Structures are given as structure tokens and as C-alpha cells.
DNA sequence: ACGAAAATGTATATTCAATAAACAGTATAT
DNA sequence: ATATACTGTTTATTGAATATACATTTTCGT
């Protein structure tokens, strides 16, 4: 729940409407009939539809229908569909964060963070379909950013470095999440189970990707690596873990470099 | 230009329509009047609109108008708007690749690759707004994948490792591209130039992000790092270079690990 | 208590986008 | 020449977002 949900504080006039809504910084109506609906209800209904049928299925009329109201009733609560999307994102971000463990390894904490983010995207496949319009501004989303920063609480990094690493990790999670999301989707769709296994166009690519025009891709297509047909125990999950360890290695190298620079923490600037 | 643009080869029946189009694997009409339009024309017009006014501005009618034809005429060339989007993506990917330099440092080649990808996204900000539905399948897009693989041509990596690294690099570029794209956009929009500089909601966030609920984010918001107000010569570009070097370090560590494992390249499997 | 004000949900209507279907004209193979 | 396979156009349908006007309900100032 947002801060004190009383104030229509002047100070927040300039925030985007939906952001103000998400912080509860909107004056509560005093007169008039009590609303039969509520923003949480609407958002929940919208998320349910999106989880099941994708973001494309979320139309104002469908959300309203699922609640037993008319389309226009939603506009008493939300200024526009875009507002609803912003609220959906923030509501989805309301996940329990793991408790802070004082002596945990930072690598493991980062792994947990990335893993959770990926799982989050698989749970809400529509999340990454909503275009990003700014840095996170809504309360639950910022909690997740805070969690990302928490993984570095004991590392000798300045603010910019920390932000860069959060960006690096969450960006990586986002990419992996998209890939896995697409795979889940393809599995559900069951694309042509007959002669063309999985979602693979391996056969066609083998004809199209010639060694002359694609000297480096060609062998990977031929061996089935590109379309992941021949995966000898190699799964996308492995790929993802692999990439993540590279990033963590990179961070570790950087930390070592910093240590080497100034071994004594109390040295002057 | 696609391969021999003659064949309506049976073998490609199962590819998505737009993919088949992009490879030119579609039978040329023999009877009837010559088309006054052409796919390249249509795609070019659509890209021009998207570059200028964003993907949202690309409607079939607007594209047709800009060419001086009716909306429906486009459907003689393209099956659906989605097809058009796929063709737009592939056409945008038709960029000149740098010549292969036999003795170039792999780190530098990867930097070039990532840089070019980022610049590409800034040039075509709409590119990342189109949802990914599968691995790249169209000719120009695959050329870029091939380029990514080329950066590793001299490294002792197997196919899976190479694909993982391409994914890592292109994913990173994609993320950075999105951030820069959004900044460019905000600059163009000139969000409220008066009291609230840039696209920043710093003032509001300083009020909202309390130290109790956001222990790790709070200091960054207060110092202006989060909203990048106080950037002391620190630009987003720096952030991006920084993250990339971490990834390259991570790759390098991995290569060293492999070397240590088997110092002699000719050792048995 | 009471009437104005404010707020609710609804009905109606507008705009715009995607695209299906039918049509009139045109070039080519037979 | 003529049937055929095309072309671009016209017309119409569908669905979504949302502006506007309405009837109804609640509560505050008196």
C-alpha cells in the first residue's frame, strides 16, 4: 500500500497521472456515491486477462466485461488505457522480496535477483510487451530496483557504478525472460506438430543460409545449434546461466581492479 | 538482394509469409498489369514514417497516402500489417558491415559490433518496439548475426558458446539502445522545460522514495544519481561503455579458463 | 432537513485502424 | 480474340478507444 493515502499533495502535480495513482497521491472523492469498482479490482482483472491471453487481449471492453460493468465505467477510475498499463506493471511488481541476509555472497544474491526477475517475466509474459517510457517511477517497481542495489550493499562501488550494474543485470534478465517467454508461448501454441518439430525452421534455414553469404552462421545452422534442434543436453536455461556467470565474472574482475588500485579503504581522495 | 529471385520453391511453403517474401521466395506474377507499387517502395515509405513519427504512426492508410495510393492497394503486396513490420525490420538491417580484418583484436571487434547495433537502434527507434516472435529468420537480420559470430572466429569456442555470446552482446546492445532511444525521444519532446529540467522527476522522487522503504535506492535518488541530474561529467554513454567492458572482461575470463583447461589445442576430446 | 454540488455508472456516438469482398480495368498466354 | 490472372479502387465490416451527455446517488453547507 502507498504512503499515507490522504494527500493530493501539490508537489506531485507534474508526475504522470498513472504514477500519481500508483503512489496513492490522488484526492479521495468526498461527495457522490461510493464507487462499486476500484482501481485494484480493475487492475487485477486486467492482469488476469493478460496472464491468460496476452496483452493483446486486454481491451477496455474486455476488462469491463470480466467485471460485469460497461466499458466506460473504467474511465471513472483510469484516465486512459495507458494509465491502466502502468498500473498493471506496478501491481505485478508487488512481489515478496527475500529477506536481507547479512553475510550472503554477492554473486549468489545477484543470481537470485536475476532468477527472480526471469521467473517474474515468465509469470507475466505481457510485462515486456509494454514499451518502457522512462526509468521506473512507481512504488513496487522501485522496490525491485532497491533490491537490485541491495545485492551490492557491501561492495566498494559508487552510485553510478551500482546503477550501471543494476541496469546490466536487469537488462540481462529481461532479455533472457523474453526468450523463455517466447519459448513458453511457442510450446503452448504447438506450432505444426507434424513434420516441423518445435518452432524450428531448421530445414528451411539449412537451404537458405549459404556458406558464402553467411560464413560464420552457416556451420551453426547446419549443425542445428542455431535452431537448437540438436541440443545435446544443452537447454536455453543453461545458456542463460552461462551468460550470467560471464557477467558476474566481469563484475568480479572490476572489483579486483578497484581493490588493487587502493588496497586501504581509508586512503585520501 | 535475395538469392535467385525466381523460385517459388516448395520447400519454403512453411515459412511465415513475410519471411518468404524477405527471401524473395515468392512466385512472380506473369499475367496482369505490372504493379505500379513494389514491396521495397512500400517498406521504404513505412520506414520513413516510423523513423520520423514512431511506430504508432505507421498505419496502412498513412503509408498508402504517403505513396499516393489507397490503403487497400498495399494488400496486393503484403498479406497483413504484421508482414509489413517484418519486412521493415529486415530492410532496416540492410546495413554495410565493416570488412573483415584478419588480425583485429576480438575485444575491439565486439565493441564495434555493439556500437553499431546501438547506433542502429538510435537510427531506427521503432525497431525495438516490434515484439520478437522468433530467432531472426530474414536475410539481412541473419547477416548481422553472422557478423556477431565473426567477432569470435578466432576464439576456441563451440557453437553453443558462440551463440550465447552473440545473445549476450546483442541483448546488451538492445538494452542500451532502448535507453538511449528513450533519452533522444525525451529530448525531442522537450518535457516541460520550465522548472522540471529534462525528463527528470527528481524533485518528486526525492519526496516519495523514503529511506525506510527504499534503504538502498534512497541515497541514489537524493544524490541525483538515479535520475542523472547531477552527472558530474558522467553520461549515459559512459555507463554503457562501462557495462560493455564488464561483459568483455567476463568473456575474457572465460577464455582464460578454457586455455588453462587444455593448453594444447590438439589434445583429444 | 434540503437543495446544490460532486460523483457514479450507462448509453450513445465518434473516430480511426485493419482488412474482407466485390468491382472495373488491363496485360498476357492460348 | 478472349479467358485469365492480375492490378488498384470502392465499399463495408469489425473492433477498439474514448468524448459527451444523461439519470442517479450521496453528502456538505445551510
Give per-residue pLDDT as tens, B179-203. 777 767 666 655 433 222 335 688 8
Query: Higher confidence at residue A139 or residue A233?
Result: A139
Residue contact A159–B129, C-beta within 8 A: no
Query: Higher confidence at residue B126 or residue A4?
Result: B126
pLDDT at B265 over 60: no
Report the range out of A47-51, A52-56, B12-16, B178-182 with the highest average pLDDT: A47-51
B61 touches strand D (CB under 7 A): no
Tell me the nt nearest to A59, Cα to C1': D16
Q: Which fold has domain A106-189+235-261?
A: Tetracycline Repressor; domain 2 (1.10.357)
Mean predicted confidence (pLDDT) in B234-249: 82
A144, A175, A207, A216: which to substitute to probe chain B, counting the most B Cβ within 10 Å?
A216
- CA–C1' B69–D15 (A): 25
| φ, ψ for residue A171, nearest 5 deg | -60, -45
Residue contact A163–B220, C-beta within 8 A: yes
The predicted pLDDT at position B5 comes to 45
- Which region holds residue A207: left if phi is over 0, alpha if psi is between -120 and 50, else beta? alpha
B230 pLDDT band (50/70/90 cuts)? Answer: very low
Q: Assess B40–A contact: CB distance below 8 Å, yes or no.
A: no
Q: Assess A206–B contact: CB distance below 8 Å, yes or no.
A: no
The predicted pLDDT at position B216 comes to 98
Q: How many CA atoms lie within 13 A of B64 on its CB side?
A: 14
The predicted pLDDT at position A265 comes to 54
Chain A residues with CB under 8 Å of B225 CB are: 159-160, 163
A41 touches strand C (CB under 7 A): no
pLDDT at B232 over 80: no
For A2, the grid coordinates are 502507498
pLDDT over 90, % of chain B: 60
Tell me the nt nearest to A34, Cα to C1': C8
Q: What residue ranges do the domains of chain B occupy? A: 10-92, 106-189+235-261
pLDDT at A85 over 60: yes
Q: What is the DSSP letter of B7?
A: -
B145, containing H or E segment: helix B139-150
Q: Which CATH architecture has domain A10-92?
A: Orthogonal Bundle (1.10)
Chain A residues with CB under 8 Å of B107 CB are: none
Taken as a whole, chain A contains a residue count of 269
Give per-residue pLDDT as tens, B38-48. 999 999 999 99
The predicted pLDDT at position A3 comes to 41
Mean pLDDT, rounded, of chain B: 86
The predicted pLDDT at position A196 comes to 28
Residue contact B162–A220, C-beta within 8 A: yes
Give per-residue pLDDT as tens, A96-155. 999 999 989 999 999 999 999 999 998 999 998 887 777 899 999 999 999 999 999 999
pLDDT at B269 over 60: no
Interior angle at CA B25, CA A206 and CA B76, nearest 5: 145
Give per-residue pLDDT as tens, B69-89. 999 999 999 999 999 999 999
Beta-carbon contacts of residue A237 (< 8 Å; ≥ 6 apart): A180
Question: What percentage of chain A's residues is helix, strand, coil (to nearest 5)?
Answer: 60, 0, 40
Chain A residues with CB under 8 Å of B208 CB are: 3, 12, 23, 139
A28 touches strand C (CB under 7 A): no
Chain B residues with CB under 8 Å of A205 CB are: 137
Q: Assess A23–B contact: CB distance below 8 Å, yes or no.
A: yes
pLDDT at B7 over 60: no
Mean predicted confidence (pLDDT) in B222-243: 71
Amino acid at each position: 500500500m502507498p504512503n499515507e493515502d490522504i494527500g493530493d499533495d501539490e508537489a506531485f502535480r507534474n508526475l504522470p497521472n498513472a504514477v500519481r495513482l500508483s503512489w496513492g497521491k490522488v484526492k479521495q472523492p468526498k461527495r457522490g456515491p461510493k464507487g462499486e469498482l476500484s482501481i485494484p479490482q480493475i487492475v487485477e482483472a486486467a492482469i488476469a486477462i493478460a496472464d491468460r491471453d496476452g496483452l493483446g487481449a486486454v481491451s477496455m471492453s474486455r476488462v469491463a466485461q470480466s467485471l460485469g460493468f460497461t466499458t466506460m465505467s473504467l474511465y471513472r477510475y483510469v484516465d486512459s488505457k495507458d494509465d491502466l498499463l502502468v498500473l498493471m506493471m506496478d501491481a505485478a511488481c508487488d512481489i515478496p522480496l527475500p529477506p536481507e541476509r547479512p553475510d550472503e555472497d554477492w554473486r549468489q544474491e545477484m543470481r537470485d535477483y536475476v532468477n527472480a526477475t526471469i521467473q517474474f517475466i515468465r509469470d507475466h509474459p505481457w510485462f515486456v510487451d509494454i514499451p518502457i517510457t522512462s526509468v521506473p517511477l512507481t512504488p513496487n517497481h522501485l522496490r525491485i530496483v532497491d533490491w537490485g542495489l541491495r545485492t551490492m550493499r557491501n561492495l566498494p562501488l559508487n552510485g553510478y557504478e551500482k546503477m550501471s550494474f543494476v541496469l546490466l543485470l536487469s537488462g540481462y534478465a529481461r532479455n533472457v525472460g523474453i526468450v523463455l517467454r517466447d519459448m513458453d508461448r511457442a510450446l503452448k501454441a504447438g506450432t505444426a506438430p507434424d513434420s516441423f518439430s518445435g518452432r524450428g525452421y531448421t530445414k528451411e534455414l539449412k537451404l537458405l543460409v549459404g556458406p558464402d553469404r553467411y560464413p560464420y552462421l552457416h556451420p551453426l545452422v547446419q549443425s542445428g545449434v542455431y535452431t537448437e534442434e540438436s541440443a545435446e543436453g544443452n537447454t536455453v536455461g543453461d545458456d542463460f546461466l552461462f551468460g550470467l556467470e560471464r557477467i558476474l565474472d566481469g563484475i568480479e574482475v572490476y572489483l579486483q581492479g578497484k581493490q588493487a588500485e587502493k588496497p586501504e579503504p581509508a586512503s585520501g581522495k
